[in-house]
A and B are shown apart, each in its own frame.
Chain A
Amino acid sequence: MGEMIKTIVFSIGSEEYGVEVEHVQTIERMLPITRVPNTPDFVKGVVNLRGVVIPVIHLASRFGLQESEPTDQSRIVMIKYGDLEIGFIVDAANDVMDIDSDTVEEPPEVVGGIRAKYLRGIAKVGEGRLLVLLNLSEVLKKSEIIQLQQMED
């Protein structure tokens, strides 16, 4: 048995993803989002979370995947990573799981269209169920926003 990692599990499309619970502040239902002009497509805008203005990004389009229409199940997972506070829009979030670090494997080069650098590993949980652990520092890298902005310009 390795170390147990407590993980918040959410889904985008048919895939399930995990983020360590210590980086997750809250999970919110969809909030009214104010669009911020001249930002990359995956930056959906900013929301008011109890008096604090927090940017939200759509995780699917951050990974270059097809964005799905918001449903009742859609959630915003509020992340605090270092001094960055940010919301991830996901299709559903409804589970907390303990993951044995021994079951986490190196991700293959591409998983469901997502480049490996955004992933920390893949964990097998239960029968044929795979959980993709996110590498937050890569997902939240600001230099990529700037690059993307420059590409748009």
Chain B
Amino acid sequence: MDTNDYLSLFIDESREHLQAMNDNMLALEQAPEDIAIVQNMFRSAHTLKGMSATMGFEDIASLTHKMENVLDLVRNGKLRMEEHIFDIIFQSLDALEAMLTDIIGGGDGKLDVTQIVTVLQQIAEGTYGQSSGSQGNAVKAAAATGNTDVARGMLDQLDEYQKTVILQSIEAGYRTYIIRVVIRQDCSMKAVRAYMVFESLGKCGEVLAANPPVEEIEADQFDYTFTLVFLSELEAAAIQAVVMNVSEIASAEVQTVTETELVQQMPAGNVSHRETAAAAATVTTDPVPAGKEPQAGSAVQKSSQKQQAAAQHRTIRVDIEKLDSLMNLFSEMLIDRVRLEQLAQEVKRSDLIETVEHMGRVSSDLQNIVMSLRMMPIESVFNRFPRMVRDVAKTLHKKVDLVMTGSDTELDRTVIDEIGDPLVHLLRNSVDHGVETPEERLKAGKSETGTIYLRAFQSGNHVIIETEDDGKGIQRHVILNKAVKNGLVTQEQGDAMSDDEVYQLLFASGFSTAEKVSDISGRGVGLDVVKSKITSLGGQVIVSSAPGRGTKFTIQLPLTLSIISAMLIKLGKETYAIPLSSIVETAIIKREAIRNVHGTKLFEFRSGMIPLISLSRLFAVPGFNEEEEEETEIVIVRKGERLAGIAVDELIGQQEIVLKSLGKYISNVTAISGATILGDGQVALIIDHNALMK
């Protein structure tokens, strides 16, 4: 099998399973007695084991195998989830993640996990054999006393429909058998042997159910043993012969199921098992070790997977490159559409105009869909945070609850890819510098456990992400002292600064407030990196704080990065675009309303004075100077709390524009964030108002 084709699938699914296990572990920490959670984890670990073994990643397989052993003991009530078990499993998950990362990076997923494996082994063995007759451990009991109960347990797993089929078959003269097939341990392709068993049985009857389910058997996810419910006219001995005919089969037990047994099964379905009359009860020489896949587990898996399937949407995985090229093609079409609209206006033929208008509506819908394809819930970024916050808090001996809301908020894929690191940084900061130690909190009259809120929500054309803690807040004097020490501001400047201005110093390059360098934060990468990252995504970050009560970072991000609404303006003969999201309003002011203060032009706007920015001067535009005009049209733009007016020659109107880069050769042009192609094929530059308002 060429496993390369499946590698990306394997990576995706392994990620999901690792995430699920992490989530489950966190849930389990809150409710250590909840066996259902352990079941979920066991399933994930088991699937991961099967997948990685198939793909040839032996280290992952063996580590998950050991994890399974421990989890198996826990879910069978033989082991209590104690702190050291949590820790070792978390460590295992980290190791698995590291291996997966290695595989993603093209490596072979090898990692020395001997230590973890040893500890897991000790945990598993330390309690192994203490209570072999334990009630909860039906599976192992079955393995020890014969396989009757396991086999009979199959009947429990049958659904009503299957039972009806069996009853009808019995009436029609068929017999029902439970066949337990054991494949030889040295068999290298057990899935193939299993398939051959199915194949030969299929010729003389009908396989009604299998445990583990057929899909898992086909995917090689079973431990040399599987059990079947089989309908046939043949005698038990004949069926056994059929199965044994397949090579590399160690043993095949065939048990007959009587009608009465089935009927008894029908109403309750969960009655405990009786001793059977026809039990062949040949004990296999293969006692199921603690961690070997107990069949009951897979059966549970089967039924719960069914439930999940009903709730899930039907989806397909699509290569991201295809989505990108779809986006590009759509962008080109959008440009042509604008061009068509212009032509239709010129030609003035009503049927042409109608068609173009209809096309316009269709392409708007199309645009919405194409854009939504690129949108991903921010969950994929958020879901690693609970674990991270837990670890950081634990290292620092703090108690922290992370409350996340709005993880279904959707953002453009590009933003999702980039936003993770800044958020990690902010959250680490919150745990490290924000939330106090339990003692400090108690002293301050707060509850011992600090709370960090992580919220995401949509607001207009933006997505807002907030991290808020109820810690000690930002202390103005600490920041100022540091800033003065680092030469960012002078003492006098600092004293004159407003609180907000002081908080902004946090984002200054090379600023780190940690009084002592810790492992968690303060490793030289400061909030300035967070800010530059978010700015490069077209967003902004604001900090607000109440001393003693907490700190809040607010990140504002554009919904999408590739198609935006913009206002087109003219300066002389040149056309520019200003992103609509930054525009507050447009206005006309008379020349005498503009005042010169210290060489800066100001004008009155809503009972405040705001600066007037002259693009014609800044861009040295030929053929236009607003100073020669009696009345100037202005576009009022906003950056954070601040407003400014941009003087323009003429407002053309609003349009959806496709963002294009200027090309590598002339990147970083002052106050130009990119370019777009207009309907007439001309390139228009997009104004970066943030740079104008520095």
- Per-position contact with A for B327-369: 1 when CB-CB < 8 Å, else 0? 0000110010000000000000000000000000000000000
Pairwise interchain contact A46-B335, C-beta atoms closer than 8 A: no
Q: How many residues of A contact B (CB 8 A)?
A: 25
With known contacts A37-B672, A46-B675, A32–B665 Cβ distance under 8 A: no
How far apart sit A38 and B105, CA to CA, in the bound complex (Å)?
41
Q: Would you give the shortest CB distance from B212 to chain A, in whole angstroms?
A: 51
Closest CB in chain A relative to B328 CB, distance in Å: 8
Residues of A within 8 A of B277 (CB): none
* Contact A53 B669, beta carbon cutoff 8 Å: no
Using CB atoms, name the residue of chain A closest to B620: A37
Segment 673-694 of B: residues with Cβ below 8 Å from A: 675, 677, 681-685
- Known A-B contacts A35-B574, A85-B663; A48 and B669 likewise in contact (beta carbons under 8 Å): no
Checking A46, A47, A57, A85 against B664 with a beta-carbon cut-off of 8 angstroms, the contacting residue is: A85
Mask of A31-42 contacts with B, CB within 8 angstroms, 1/0: 010111111000
B682 A36 Cβ-Cβ under 8 A: no
Asked if A86 CB lies within 8 Å of chain B CBs, one says yes
* Nearest chain B residue, comparing its CB with the CB of A54: B663
Interface centre among B335, B621, B664, B672 (most CB of A within 10 A): B664
Are A83 and B664 touching (Cβ within 8 A)?
A: yes
Q: Is A140 in contact with chain B by the CB < 8 A criterion?
A: yes
**With A35-B574, A37-B672 in contact, do A55 and B681 touch (Cβ < 8 Å)?**
no
In the complex, are the beta carbons of A36 and B664 less than 8 A apart? no
- Expressed in whole angstroms, the Cα–Cα distance for A92 and B670 within the complex equals 33
Give A56-94 as 1s and 0s: 1 = Cβ < 8 Å from B's Cβ atoms: 010000000000000000000000000111100000000
Residues in chain A near residue B684, CB distance under 8 A: 34
Residue B195, interface by CB 8 Å: no
CA gap between A3 and B677 in the complex, in Å: 43
Whether, in the assembled complex, B660 has its beta carbon less than 8 Å from a beta carbon of chain A, the answer is yes
Residues of A within 8 A of B620 (CB): 37-38
Residue contact B619 to A38, C-beta cutoff 8 Å:
yes
Q: Name the contact of A86 in the complex, choosing from B621, B665, B675 (C-beta under 8 A).
A: B665
Residue of chain B at shortest CB distance from A47: B683
Residues on A with C-beta less than 8 A from B664 are: 83-85
State whether B675 touches A34 (Cβ < 8 A).
yes
- Tell yes or no: A52 within 8 A of B by CB: yes
Inter-chain contact B683/A34, CB cutoff 8 Å: yes
Q: Is A27 on the interface with B (CB-CB < 8 A)?
A: no
Is B660 touching A52 in the complex (CB atoms < 8 A)?
yes
Alpha-carbon distance between A46 and B677 when the two chains are bound, in angstroms: 11
Within 8 A of A (CB), among B449-473: none
| A34 contact set on B, CB distance < 8 A | 574, 675, 682-685
- B335: chain A residues at CB < 8 Å are 51
**CB pair A38 B682 closer than 8 Å:** no
Q: B316 interface residue, CB < 8 Å from A?
A: no
- Write out the residue numbers on chain A whose beta carbons fall within 8 Å of the beta carbon of B241: none
The contact of A55 among B621, B666, B671, by CB within 8 Å, is B666
- Which of A35, A38, A47, A142 lies in contact with B665, CB distance below 8 A? A142
Q: Which residue, A52, A53, A55, has most C-beta atoms of chain B within 10 A?
A: A53
Given contacts A34-B574, A37-B618, A37-B669, contact A55 B662 (CB under 8 A): yes
Which A residues from 112 to 137 make CB contacts under 8 A with B?
Answer: none
A66 smallest CB distance to B (angstroms): 21
- A24 contacts across to B, CB distance below 8 A: none
Contact status A32-B681, CB under 8 Å:
yes
| A43 contacts chain B at the CB level, 8 A cutoff | yes
- The answer to whether B618 touches A36, judged by C-beta atoms less than 8 angstroms apart, is no
Q: Is A145 an interface residue (CB 8 A)?
A: yes
Contacts of B661 in A (CB 8 A): 53
B665 CB contacts on chain A under 8 angstroms: 43, 55, 57, 84-86, 140, 142, 145
A45 — which chain B residues lie within 8 A by C-beta? 683
Given the complex, which residues of B lie within 8 Å of A35, measured CB to CB? 574
Q: Tell me, in angstroms, the Cα distance from A140 to B661 when the chains sit together.
A: 18
Other-chain contact of A53, B332, B574, B675 (Cβ < 8 Å): B675
Contact B681 A48 (CB under 8 A): yes
- Report yes or no: A53 in contact with B666, Cβ–Cβ below 8 A: no
Question: A46 and B683: CB pair below 8 A?
Answer: yes
CB nearest neighbor in A for B677: A48
Interface centre among B331, B332, B335, B663 (most CB of A within 10 A): B663
Extra inter-chain contacts (7) besides given A36-B662, A39-B669, CB under 8 Å:
A35-B574, A37-B619, A37-B685, A39-B666, A46-B683, A51-B335, A84-B663
- Which 10 residue pairs across A and B have the least CB separation, nearest first? A37-B619, A34-B683, A53-B660, A53-B675, A55-B663, A55-B665, A51-B332, A55-B666, A38-B670, A48-B677
A-B pairs with beta carbons under 8 Å apart, 21 shown:
A32-B681, A32-B683, A34-B675, A34-B682, A36-B662, A36-B666, A37-B619, A37-B621, A37-B669, A37-B670, A38-B619, A38-B620, A38-B670, A45-B683, A46-B675, A46-B683, A51-B332, A51-B677, A53-B662, A55-B666, A145-B666
